[in-house]
Structure 1
Amino acid sequence: MDPRLRNNLGGSSSPYLRQHADNPVHWQQWGEEAMEWARERNVPILLSIGYSACHWCHVMAHESFENDEIAAVMNANFVCVKVDREERPDIDAVYMNATVAMTGQGGWPMTCFLTPDGSPFYCGTYYPPTPRGGMPSFTQLLEAIADTFTNRRDEVDNAAQSIVTELQRASGGIPYGGAPIDAELLNAAGRSILGVEDIPRGGFGGAPKFPPSALLEGLLRQFERTGSGEILGGIERTAEAMARGGIYDQLGGGFSRYSVDAEWVVPHFEKMLYDNALLLRFYAHWARRTGSDLATRIAKETAGFLLSDLLTENGCFASALDADTDGIEGLTYVWTPTQLVEVLGAEDAQWAADLFRVTDTGTFEEGASVLQLLRDPDDWSRWQTVSDALRAARAQRPQPGRDDKVVTAWNGLTVTALTEAGLALDRSDWIAAAAECAGALLDLHLVDGHLRRASLGGAVGAPTGVLEDYAMLATGLLALYQATGFARWLDAAQQLLDVTLDHFADPAEPGSWFDTADFAESLVTRPRDPLDGATPSGASSVAEALLTAAALTDAGRSSRYAQAAADALARATLPLERAPRSAGHWLTVAEASLRGPIQVAVVGEGSLLADARRLAPGGAVVVGGAPDSSPLLADRPLVDDGEAAYICRGFVCDRPVTTVVELANQLNTTSHTAM
């Protein structure tokens, strides 16, 4: 029997694909072999894209892909290909653009029908097993697509060619234009973002609400520059609403992917590594800047969640916890008053129900409530006892599945977050965990000088790294270098950035980046998306890495990195002007660039380095060590045989300072004299 006449997902490096290994569908993995089989059979490709923590992906799998009759229709008329969007973001990006172009919206599960060469001709998302809500059944769709492909092939080929042409036309980079990166542009972007703030409930825009981590970090850096109380108020309203709402796990720490309502009460319960890394970075930064007790607590609990729930055996971090438990969304997390009494007894249960907003009617399904903490407890000792008991009881419940796939980019975000949070909150153990993760990534994911996208169980997968993988890991390595002074991290970051400049930059458009390397697999179009979404874009992330590296490296590399960062930021002016809510990380990087970025070099041993790390704004480069021990410390002598801090902005430096008062004054001043 042809080995392709069976499900071939069992050996995949993706937990999501392995979830479908027992389907009666003859799923194939993406690749030339599947396309060749489609050409041999002269049938279309049915491409299904999703990810392991996706609730509606599970629904469609149970309804259709596990159904023998529907699977028989799929197998008879299509070559069926499964793709994990997290393992192959390049494939996801191409066909998501096609789906949005055809339907006006996208999402997962994504269902696309392709010609045997991979050109899309019909795309959609979820389809029910029976007609519902104006949608055809999945079987009706399959039969209609198969009939059209067989009997109206010319129309299919013409439609596919038209779609590919449009995708290629739309895949250009952001043009130069608009205002330069200056204070006026960034202040206007901040006002625009705050102009859509949901002031009573926090957040920007309406439901569903996703954690605006990049926007918050960008606004926090703007607050550091301007001192604006209006900006700080907007930051604090959103950050506190999320931290006290149901989107945050009040017992176990960590944030869910989004809230289905405008009040942050009911989450979509999956917990993603990237969300929690980005939010850890922000809350630690907020805590460092303002001393907020709430920010400090949330940062500590979120770091605790990462290290307890997502840490893998090799020291890296798993991708996600599932939204569902035993097929039921939220089963692990929600509570009824009766359940509280069973665990706590009547008196403590009543106190906890009032504190956590657990009611008889409930805030979720079937009278259950998602825990909120809208005010601080009046008795922290009692709260600790109660929360410990509830946490222990919850641990006895069925638990959501974990996607153990280690994604390079998301682990890079985590390295950055743990390092910066460790410095901010004096947690050397977090920095050690970041270093262990970074070392494991370099040992396993860096193969012949090129990054791989992901690994599973200590075995690296075949898909090559995309732009965000190189950029986000480089940024994490640079953060580690600043924290530890170990040259390994700087050397590795430079290696990654050199590959990025050589293989991802668009030679025809300086400052524009492709999301895939020129040595990667060719798809029907080469994807690039410079706008920020749930995670920072690869383009804004590489701008951050280059801007930071330019301040840390030797003169030869520094000028190349600085010019590339400047070119990238020159293309950020249009999104910052016209769509600042989709340019949160661009705002973050631009705020650092506008201030120099600030570089602080501390020579000698003493408390001045810790003071610099505490006082310097987000995006500043801070290193310490002996004179001439690193490029930024070259020609930086001790002052009167004691420690000294040298502060520069771009190519302009202040006189060295030796006290924390002088250091604080220089970091807050706006006029500088070249030395």
Structure 2
Amino acid sequence: MARNRLAETASPYLNQHADNPVHWQPWDEEALAEARKRSVPIHLSIGYAACHWCHVMANESFSDPGTAAYLNQNFVNIKVDREERPDIDQVYMAALHSLGVPGGWPLTMFLTPQTEPFWGGTYFPPTPRWGRPSFRQVLHAVTETWQHKPETVATNTKAIATHLMSGQATEPPPDTHPDPELLDAAAAQILVHFDLERGGLKGAPKFPQAPLLEMMWRAHLRTGNTAYADAVLITLRNLCQGGIYDHLGGGFARYAVDDQWLVPHFEKMLSDNGQLLYLLCLAYEKTGEPLFRARLEETANWLLNEMRLPSGAFATSLDADTDHEEGATYVWSADEIEDHLGAATETFAKLYDVTPEGNWEGRNILNRLRTEAFAWLGESNEATLARHRASLLTVRNTRAQPARDDKVLTDWNATLIAALARSSVVLSRPDLLTAATDAFAFLSENKTPSGQLAHAWCDGRITAEAVSTDHAQMLRAAIELYAATAEKHYLDSAKASVDVLETNYYDDDSGSYYLANAAQDALFARLHSDSDEAMPAATGVAAEACGRLFLLTGETSYLDRAETIIRHQARAIARNLIATASLQNAWDTALRARHVIVFGSESKTDDTIAKHIAAEADPALTREYRPDSSASEARLRICDMERCYPDITASQEIADLLARTRTGHTR
């Protein structure tokens, strides 16, 4: 009989289960071999360290000796960290969807010893409730089916496999480029579903969905329709003032469980904050609103102070729970606020929605969603509030704190690196650029024994090989670092990322990238990374970056790859507008990409030029500064997807040319 082997792993999530009486195994050949030897099904449980419901199920079922004994007798039990092994999570989440079950974590799947899925679900309670069977009932039913109804298992595995493979079916792409009007029509359709009072898509729960917000932002730049930009700005203002934002410590929670951004699911993820930091840069560049600058500064400071590791890379997440209680670190009673703020309590409480009865389960989530608190209150008033918040944060820091997952994920870090590089320019903060370059260096230098990029690193060791999202996000990060530094080695790194993607991940038949490397251990299925989830798909990110890389290098192979992907994916975009936002962003870049170069010496660089470029707030624009000590005055050169324009110096000419090239062209 096996034992619990999770203490041997580096993953903080797996370590959380090392003391369970369940004989958990990591996903490896030893565990799979045991299932084959014993001829018992695999009970696969997938989650992550910051997951509230993963903790609940662990406390209710995996810590129960009776449940554990049944699991150990009848199954080989494998625990997977979905962030460490997104390839495994992708395959079995897709299998669950094929059964008509909505996704979520913990993901509970039952597999044959050959790793073929035949049934599954998500969280199961210890006793029947909410229309769900108990976990024990599920286990008994699966055991009964496995032992006495092998035909049912065979039928299910075949049906799931057929469904997954049909989703990977390909069809020849059109010979011509898709009509850009389809891109505009997609944005118009999405706008109908936006909540134009609170932002985000209508209904609850509310997720920020950063790729979708970027898609709408680009639609505004491409069409000139301000309704698209307004939808994004409304969303960002509500995010910045809602309870989903940590008003004391900085940073955004994963999502809001309500339709007003008030009640967060309290986990803080590096991936979300990197994407939102980038969007806040665009919003601040466009509007100059002090709210956006404040949240940029606060979130960047939180990332540097609380999430940066000694290696220079960044940790993955902060837990939703503290001592098994969701949000315990973050919420307040009215009395606690009064004890620490004294005479200032009345004003603070009015602005931050603090009441004796509370706004969530008898406690208070600090927020500024009320009408009288929503607007920026001016420099003096905001400075006073900042002092009060700092006082409360000092108190909060004495409380028990949520656990931090110190695992380093390459794609999540690279997303943040791109945002920090842009933020360093927007905020004139060299420390942010230093943090970005240090993190990029760590990711680039810590390779697998075969010299390949890693996906996950923890406790001094690489724990998972790279997937396509790692290379795609490193490609994008390298371009942003080149824009911020003009250092050529970042362009070389970008080219190298494309080479690896082409060699190890690209599928000619579908015009998309697989998530897993072909050389990695084969799973039940190999699926493409072409639909956005919490992170944008590798196919969309890589295609977008290739469009920009073409302008930076002049190498047409990059543009050819981007346009080939877009031709292949045009039908998929029409079928699923929301999940293909990153592909639509790539299409927009293929239409509108611009390379803007400023020539001049440091003493002769015109701030007016920089302001004109910043005001574009365009993710399809790559800016670059090139020193020229001989220049009598700073000058600007713009290259788009059709031509390079003559260098110009006059402010009005610069503004006119930027406006003229903003909307792109039809290829």
- TM-score, normalising length from structure 2? 0.93
Q: Match for 1:658: what amino acid? A: T
Q: Deviations over 1:496-554 (max 9, x none)?
A: 21010111111333x2221112212211110114122222111101112212222223x
Provide the rounded CA distance (Å) in 1 between the counterparts of 2:296 and 2:81.
30
Residue equivalent to 1:425: 427
1:357 corresponds, among 353, 376, 396, to: 353
Provide the rounded CA distance (Å) in 1 between the counterparts of 2:575 and 2:37.
48
Q: Match for 1:439: what amino acid? A: A
Secondary structure at the aligned position of 1:234 is classed as helix
Per-residue deviation at 1:591?
A: 2.3
Residue equivalent to 2:394: 392
Please give the residue correspondences for 1:324-343 in structure 2 after superposition, counting only pairs within 5 Å.
Answer: 324-343=321-340
1:211 corresponds, among 208, 211, 214, to: 208
- TM-score, normalising length from structure 1? 0.92
1:21 corresponds, among 2, 18, 22, to: 18
Secondary structure at the aligned position of 2:512 is classed as coil
Please give the residue correspondences for 1:9-48 in structure 2 after superposition, counting only pairs within 5 Å.
Answer: 9-48=6-45
Residue equivalent to 2:437: 435
Residue equivalent to 2:495: 494
RMSD value, Cα = 2.2
Per-residue deviation at 1:201?
A: 2.1
Q: Deviations over 1:42-73 (max 9, x none)?
A: 11110000011110000000011111111110
Contact kept, 8 Å, 1:575 with 1:582, in 2: the verdict is no
Distance 1:648 1:588, change over 3 A: same
Per-residue deviation at 1:388?
A: 1.3
Residue equivalent to 1:630: none
Secondary structure at the aligned position of 2:446 is classed as helix
Provide the rounded CA distance (Å) in 2 between the counterparts of 1:234 and 1:16.
37
Q: Match for 2:47: what amino acid? A: G
Contact kept, 8 Å, 1:540 with 1:586, in 2: the verdict is yes
Secondary structure at the aligned position of 1:580 is classed as coil
Provide the rounded CA distance (Å) in 1 between the counterparts of 2:664 and 2:539.
31
2:650 corresponds, among 655, 659, 662, to: 659
Per-residue deviation at 1:226?
A: 3.1
2:115 corresponds, among 95, 113, 118, to: 118
Secondary structure at the aligned position of 1:30 is classed as coil
Count of equivalent residues:
653
Residue equivalent to 1:540: 540
Distance 1:145 1:426, change over 3 A: same
Per-residue deviation at 1:38?
A: 0.6
Distance 1:245 1:446, change over 3 A: same
Distance 1:313 1:291, change over 3 A: same
Contact kept, 8 Å, 1:52 with 1:403, in 2: the verdict is yes
Contact kept, 8 Å, 1:314 with 1:458, in 2: the verdict is no
Contact kept, 8 Å, 1:174 with 1:530, in 2: the verdict is no
Q: Match for 2:137: what amino acid? A: Q
Provide the rounded CA distance (Å) in 2 between the counterparts of 1:175 and 1:294.
48
Distance 1:446 1:479, change over 3 A: farther
Q: Deviations over 1:12-43 (max 9, x none)?
A: 12110011111111111112221111111111
Per-residue deviation at 1:309?
A: 1.7
Distance 1:453 1:264, change over 3 A: same
1:269 corresponds, among 262, 266, 270, to: 266
The reply to whether residue 372 of structure 1 matches residue 365 of structure 2 is no
Contact kept, 8 Å, 1:424 with 1:613, in 2: the verdict is no
Gaps of 5+ in 1: 628-637
Per-residue deviation at 1:447?
A: 5.2
Contact kept, 8 Å, 1:504 with 1:514, in 2: the verdict is yes
Residue equivalent to 1:633: none
Gaps of 5+ in 2: none
Secondary structure at the aligned position of 2:465 is classed as coil
Per-residue deviation at 1:222?
A: 2.5
Provide the rounded CA distance (Å) in 2 between the counterparts of 1:158 and 1:574.
31
Percent identity, aligned pairs only?
Answer: 38
Distance 1:174 1:356, change over 3 A: farther
Residue equivalent to 2:605: 607
Contact kept, 8 Å, 2:198 with 2:260, in 1: the verdict is yes
Secondary structure at the aligned position of 2:506 is classed as coil
Please give the residue correspondences for 1:100-111 in structure 2 after superposition, counting only pairs within 5 Å.
Answer: 100-111=97-108
1:450 corresponds, among 452, 476, 491, to: 452
The reply to whether residue 285 of structure 1 matches residue 282 of structure 2 is yes
Distance 1:173 1:252, change over 3 A: farther
Per-residue deviation at 1:329?
A: 0.5
Task: Tell me whether 374-383 or 471-480 shows the greater mean CA deviation.
Answer: 374-383
Secondary structure at the aligned position of 2:44 is classed as strand
Please give the residue correspondences for 1:311-322 in structure 2 after superposition, counting only pairs within 5 Å.
Answer: 311-322=308-319
Distance 1:220 1:414, change over 3 A: same
Please give the residue correspondences for 1:608-627 in structure 2 after superposition, counting only pairs within 5 Å.
Answer: 608=606, 610-611=610-611, 613-616=613-616, 617-626=618-627
Provide the rounded CA distance (Å) in 2 between the counterparts of 1:646 and 1:584.
30
Residue equivalent to 1:239: 236
Q: Deviations over 1:575-633 (max 9, x none)?
A: 443432223223333222211x1112333323257356424522212222257xxxxxx
